Structure 1
Amino acid sequence: MAVAGPSGPVMGREDVDRALARLATEHEAIESSLLSLQDHSGRRLLEGAELTGVTKERWAATDAAITALWTHFEAYTDALATAREIRSRRRWPTQTELRQLTELLRGEGVSVTGEAVPDAARSLTGPARLTERYSLEQLLARMNTWYEQAMETVAAADSVWSALPARIDLLAAETQRVRSLAHAVGVRPGAHPSGDELEELIAELTELRAQSVSDPLAFWRARPAPGRPDTSRYEEAGRQLDGIRREVEAVMHVRDDAKHRLGRLRDVLSRADRTLTEARSARVEVLSKILASDVPAVSGPASVLHERLAMAEEFTRSAQWHRLSPLLDSLEQHADDELLRARESLTAVTAPLAVRAELRGRLDAYRAKVARLGMAEDPLLIERYDQARRLLWSAPCDLAAAERTVQRYQQAVAESGAQRPPQDRR
């Protein structure tokens, strides 16, 4: 909107004609702006919505400003029409007419009917409504102020309504989809933290949408200019949903992988049990065949792990995937540890048998060496060999004595080989 020029002395005919032409252009621009404001989608929505909070307060002031705008525009139109009528009376206006035109165009010649006078302040013969007088310049300045206020309010509300409710609806729909998946895998309120978070998120989105519709200006940030909708709560809700979705997908992965993991657990625990059974049998054999007092005891199967495995299978049957996940993680670690413990127990129990087997192998190797050297008939070597063999093939076997006897046999073989003439050793 343009601003009329300042008042001055009585205007001449040319000044009047130029002023009327300028005012006609300004009038057309003002009318176009007011009609644009009247048709603005934000104004129509504000006019028909049930508003609350900041928006309700600001719209009440803005609506009054729009009403005042039209009142002042009508006064502006009337003043311009009066000036045109006076100017159209004759080609060369009289001084009286020029003074009238000057008062209308530059002076405070425009009357505007204002608010009603309160009953307590009204006199018996006084007016029911206040009437103020302005110049066209003052009138235009007031109209500009109200227009900017009105456009800022309706544009901000329209911007928030365009930015938030539709996006919240999409996020709410995605939240419902995640909720369906969550319930399918047992992520429910009271049963899993993510189930509680999901219900809280749904309530937050419902409240956020209602507030963004009824109080859009509460979500408007005017600074920095030109301003923007505040979407921080919406964005935080989106981040929360992403976190819940990841948790639900992790639980779904547990469900899809549960059969394989449970099968592996059963296999590992079964191998651990078989290994422990083998170790117990081997211990009986060692105690009967080896003269030893330090054979370690062998524990029974890990009943606690079997009980927890049964619990995991029950969680699978009842679709409690969220409880199954941490249980499987713990079970897999303990089952692997149990199998390792069983193998170490078997190794420790069978160590004496391994020592006996090594001594037997060494004794046979040296006997073969004696035969190659042609000393198979040596009485000392025959005696030493028989002594070692009796000890190694007797039950229970005294490993310490047998090892000493094998070493004496080895030493005798070495000494006999060194004493034989070179030709005999060929």
Structure 2
Amino acid sequence: MDRDGVDRALARLGAEHEAVETSLLALQDHAGRRLLEGADLAGVTKERWAAADAAITRLWTYFDAYSGALAAARAIRERRRWLSRDDLVDLTERLRGPGVHIAGAAADGAGLAERWSLAELVARMNELYAGSLDVVVAADAVWSALPARIDLLAAELRRTRSLAHSVGVRPGEHPAGDDLEAITAELADLREQVVADPLAFWQPAAGSSAPGGGRPDTGRYDRAALALEDVRREVEAVLAVRQDAEQRLVALRDVLSRADRTLAEARAARTEVLAKIAASEVPAVSGPPTALQEQLALAAEYRRTARWHRLSPLLDALEERAEEELCRARESLTAVTAPLAVRAELRGRLDAYRAKVARHGLAEDVVLVERYDAARRMLWSAPCDLRAAEQAVLRYQQAAAEALAPQQDRPSGPGGEDA
């Protein structure tokens, strides 16, 4: 190397020395490193930090050797302005050759010495620095992200548990109470593991070689948060039951009362149908829904004793079954009164044709009067034979149609009336 080459090499190595020193001091002061030094570590973090801590110690050993070698080269350069050939040879060897001697640097601890050039030593320090920084940054990122979030979720869990206990949602009595216990245990275990082994919760970024490339793994935390949200909604539902329980119980009593009245009406109608309609199949009418009344009484007892967690599902089931019972009662009334509806329809049809016949001046027609009287006797007698009455009405309709046919064929005159 000539003098200019030596000066350029010293300047470059000096800049690298300054950069390495700045990085090492930043690593030394890194909050993550201080936390790792004082933590009771376990698992993969304990293993990786032991290796990283040894690497940091080795880094300072390398840096001290690098500093000494650089200082020695600078001293030779500064002895005189014009360097002799021997000086240039010496500096070339120091700046380019494997002249840095480090005792006991073997990775296996055998105490074997290493010899490096300054460029090789910088590369080796960069490698050790990157690996150590990756451990420190990853652990610090997990500790910065997860414990605080776990603590916030634990505070929300405590509020939810207090609210749940106030409405009777307790372990062994309600599934949501059991879920709260499971979430509590999970959060405690998760926090303990995150503090002791943060690197177990680190996901490196795919394809990234930069120190600290990745993100904290929040999978377990996210699942616990979702489970707590489900429990919170369940507790809120129970709270809603407490707030509107009386109103819902009153509405239930009203629905069941209407169902009872409708069934009573159906039973009375069945008696009437059996007395007034002959040769008709009338379905039986069931009794009042005693099982629902018993459950309604149980719901009222739950409300009186503030057992909201039991009242909530019972009210939901009762509301559904009460509506079904009311629909069933209405269907039963419709089925029972069907023969009366048929008789009423036949009566209406008979009277409508009689009025039509009268408008055309055929009210005194002997055949029509005879058939009308026969049909009317059947429809207004008890018990009424619907089949025979329907045939009688059809015969009257046919006779009326035949009697009206000649008049409908004639054109209407002035002031006349169309059929």
Q: TM-score range by the shorter chain?
A: 0.7 to 0.9
Query: Which residue of the other structure, out of 190, 194, 211, is the alignment partner of 2:172?
Result: 190
Aligned mates of 1:237, 1:77 — CA distance in 2: 52
Deviations 1:19-65 (A, max 9, x none): 33333333222221211111122212211222111111111111111
**2:228 aligns to what?**
241
Aligned ranges 1:118-129 → 2 under 5 Å = none
Report sequence identity in percent.
68
Q: Displacement of 1:367 after TM fit?
A: 8.1
Q: Say whether residues 1:266 and 2:253 are aligned partners.
A: yes
Aligned ranges 1:73-84 → 2 under 5 Å = 73-84=63-74
**1:41 aligns to what?**
31
Query: Which residue of the other structure, out of 168, 177, 182, is the alignment partner of 2:150?
Result: 168
Whether contact under 8 Å (2:103, 2:114) holds in the other structure is yes
**Residue 316 to residue 21, structure 1, CA distance change in 2 (3 Å):** same
**Residue 412 to residue 98, structure 1, CA distance change in 2 (3 Å):** closer
Structure 1 vs Structure 2 CA RMSD: 4.3
- The one-letter code matched in structure 2 to 1:63 is D
Aligned mates of 2:19, 2:50 — CA distance in 1: 26
**Residue 101 to residue 320, structure 1, CA distance change in 2 (3 Å):** same
TM-score, normalising length: structure 2: 0.75
Aligned mates of 2:117, 2:371 — CA distance in 1: 139
Aligned ranges 1:221-300 → 2 under 5 Å = 221-224=203-206, 225=208, 226=210, 227-229=213-215, 230-287=217-274, 294-300=281-287
Aligned mates of 1:171, 1:389 — CA distance in 2: 82
Deviations 1:94-129 (A, max 9, x none): 56555544443333433334369x99x9xxxxxxx7
Aligned mates of 2:22, 2:380 — CA distance in 1: 119
Q: Displacement of 1:297 after TM fit?
A: 3.6
**2:137 aligns to what?**
155
Q: Say whether residues 1:331 and 2:318 are aligned partners.
A: yes
- The one-letter code matched in structure 2 to 1:199 is E
**Residue 96 to residue 312, structure 1, CA distance change in 2 (3 Å):** same
Deviations 1:266-293 (A, max 9, x none): 1121112112223333444455566667
- The one-letter code matched in structure 1 to 2:121 is L
SS at match of 1:114: coil
Q: Displacement of 1:411 after TM fit?
A: 8.9
Aligned mates of 1:171, 1:399 — CA distance in 2: 74
TM-score, normalising length: structure 1: 0.74
Gaps of 5+ in 2: 406-416
Aligned mates of 1:415, 1:138 — CA distance in 2: 124
Aligned mates of 1:281, 1:415 — CA distance in 2: 42
**Residue 78 to residue 310, structure 1, CA distance change in 2 (3 Å):** same
SS at match of 1:221: strand
SS at match of 2:104: strand
**2:409 aligns to what?**
none
- The one-letter code matched in structure 2 to 1:228 is G
Aligned ranges 1:139-150 → 2 under 5 Å = 139-150=121-132
SS at match of 2:97: coil
- The one-letter code matched in structure 1 to 2:132 is A
**1:58 aligns to what?**
48
Q: Say whether residues 1:137 and 2:119 are aligned partners.
A: yes
**2:61 aligns to what?**
71
**Residue 102 to residue 331, structure 1, CA distance change in 2 (3 Å):** same
**1:204 aligns to what?**
186
**Residue 403 to residue 77, structure 1, CA distance change in 2 (3 Å):** closer
Gaps of 5+ in 1: 1-10, 122-128, 419-425
Q: Displacement of 1:88 after TM fit?
A: 3.6
Aligned mates of 2:68, 2:400 — CA distance in 1: 140
Q: Say whether residues 1:30 and 2:20 are aligned partners.
A: yes
Aligned mates of 1:355, 1:138 — CA distance in 2: 108
**Residue 47 to residue 359, structure 1, CA distance change in 2 (3 Å):** closer
Whether contact under 8 Å (2:105, 2:114) holds in the other structure is no
Aligned mates of 1:299, 1:368 — CA distance in 2: 42
**Residue 15 to residue 313, structure 1, CA distance change in 2 (3 Å):** same
Whether contact under 8 Å (2:100, 2:116) holds in the other structure is yes
